[in-house]
Amino acid sequence: MSSTDTPQPTYSQGHSASVVASHVSRTVENSASFLTPHLKPDFTIVDLGCGPGTITRGFCAFVPDGSVIGIDSSAAVIEQARSLAVGLASGESESGASSAAEGLKGSYANLQFRVGDITAAPLPFDDDSVDVVYTHQTLIHIPSPIRVIREALRILKPGGILAMREADHAANEPTTPPLEQYWQSIFASARAMGAQGEGTGRRLHLWAQEAGFERSKMQIGAGATVYTAPDEAKWWAGVHIGRLDGEIGERWLRDKIVQSQHEIEDMKAALRAWGDSPEAWYSVMQGEVVCRK
């Protein structure tokens, strides 16, 4: 597994403020409730592609006698994950003395974040050593998801759990051609990097079988993320307008995901109009699969 001194894998969305803003809205409650009934207090949980770690740190309360380790290829986002958790832990202590360098305390004493490329096998864990591997909105961006799942199988203890939650497809109401083009372009940018993009959620159980998990030991389900008018829709539109104004717009032009700045401006106007609509509704269907080793 690579570290900070080796090139980082390219993540099609990048880590601009507007990308990370959507990741930090995620919690165990809204993104991992299909896993929590399976957790026991002494479990070790590894979160692959943990991003800013808001879900990762949420697992700590479920495994007070165990440990939680988040891994991401971006050193900057891991630093952010650590700082966010240290800030919360400091708020708990009277001295407020905890720092990123000292490590985590309080409710997060059992939490670690590491920089690493999860596609560069082997993952840094022994065979049969981990209770739970969780991954959320990460395999959708990765060209070799089966390799990652095979590694998850190797590090899990017998009876251990792989829990995956990945988007499948999105829908907006009201919708317009530039809005449809925006969502298609998001998925296309993942496909341009060799990843599956759209349709990932429906394939998780197939990839898990290819990697060696048994179908008879899987729970294959789905959930949804929904944002509606007024506040959530305005926020969600703003997040995506911010992405188009930043490095994603530039990359889409360079990679010919869009043909002109004019198309980007049309998408931004469509997002703004959708976010302002009193009827605004957005959903993304999420594949949720739990596999037992």
The 3-class SS string of the chain reads CCCCCCCCCCCCCCCCHHHHHHHCCCCHHHHCCCCHHHCCCCCEEEEECCCCCHHHHHHHHHCCCCEEEEEECCHHHHHHHHHHHHHHHHHHCCCCCCCCCCCCCHHHCCEEEEECCCCCCCCCCCCCCEEEEEEECCHHHCCCHHHHHHHHHHHEEEEEEEEEEEEEEEEEECCCHHHHHHHHHHHHHHHHCCCCCCCCHHHHHHHHHHHCCCHHHEEEEEEEEEEECCHHHHHHHHHHHHHHHCHHHHHHHHCCCCCCHHHHHHHHHHHHHHHHCCCCEEEEEEEEEEEEC
Given the complex with ligand SAM, which of 137 and 185 has the nearer CB atom? 137
The CB-of-28 to ligand SAM minimum distance in angstroms stands at 11
Shortest CB 173 distance to ligand SAM, Å: 24
Nearer to ligand SAM among residue 28 and residue 280 (C-beta)? 28
We find the least distance from the C-beta atom of residue 145 to ligand SAM, in angstroms, to be 10
As given in the structure block, the two tokens for residue 75 are: 């050193």
Q: Which positions from 181 to 220 touch ligand SAM by CB under 6 A, shown as an x/- string?
A: ----------------------------------------
Q: Is 286 in the site for ligand SAM (CB under 6 A)?
A: no
Task: State which residue, 178 or 289, has the beta carbon closest to ligand SAM.
Answer: 289
Tell me: does residue 82 bind ligand SAM (CB under 6 A): no
**Shortest distance, position 205 Cβ to ligand SAM, whole Å:** 19
Q: Of 55 and 257, which has the nearer Cβ to ligand SAM?
A: 55
Q: Taking CB under 6 A as the criterion, which residues in 100-129 touch ligand SAM?
A: 117-119
Q: By CB under 6 A, what part of segment 34-73 binds ligand SAM?
A: 49-51, 55, 72-73
**Is residue 222 exposed (0-12), middle (13-18) or buried (19+ Cβ within 10 Å)?**
middle
Q: 178 or 211: whose CB is closer to ligand SAM?
A: 211
Residue of the chain from 44, 80, 98, 138 that contacts ligand SAM (CB under 6 A): 138
Residue length, the chain?
A: 293
The one among 136, 203, 268, 293 contacting ligand SAM by CB under 6 A: 136
Nearer to ligand SAM, 66 or 145 (CB): 145
Binding site for ligand SAM (CB under 6 A): 9, 11, 23, 26, 49-51, 55, 72-74, 77, 117-119, 136-138, 141-142
